[in-house]
Structure 1
């Protein structure tokens, strides 16, 4: 049991999740779920967000060309499936 005296609620929730995962690993629970307690958290097997991969040189050229043509950073990010800050980083010197 993790001592959580005086912690903020979101930090306490993180500790509870970590404790649940730790208990699952310690008991050797895999994907079966048969021996999980009802209040345990599920093990994440599929991440909810895509992996952070930098754009390829071809994508950088296309991103820079789109920005130079007047397209917005937001629409470029959506088209290339990149974060807006990634697109901005590669196009910040283009006006």
Structure 2
């Protein structure tokens, strides 16, 4: 009886902490990390198809701004996906 009451109290405390956004379900965090790793891999692999045509015939100095722009766009894409997934998790936790 006492153990059951303690368990109920602990569950209520955990729920309250989650509601206060102090805790996040580790399963959600793991899924987010796996998803973002997959997105990052895809973005990087896309360079293989995008870059040769954009870099062909350019000097090394001319390649630098093209590469910077592609990397910037890739990082932006990953960041936007991260924000979107965090919003999904936040809504699910509420």
**Shorter-chain TM band:** under 0.3
Greater relative contact order structure (CA < 8 Å, 6+ sep): 2
Q: TM-score, normalised by structure 2?
A: 0.26
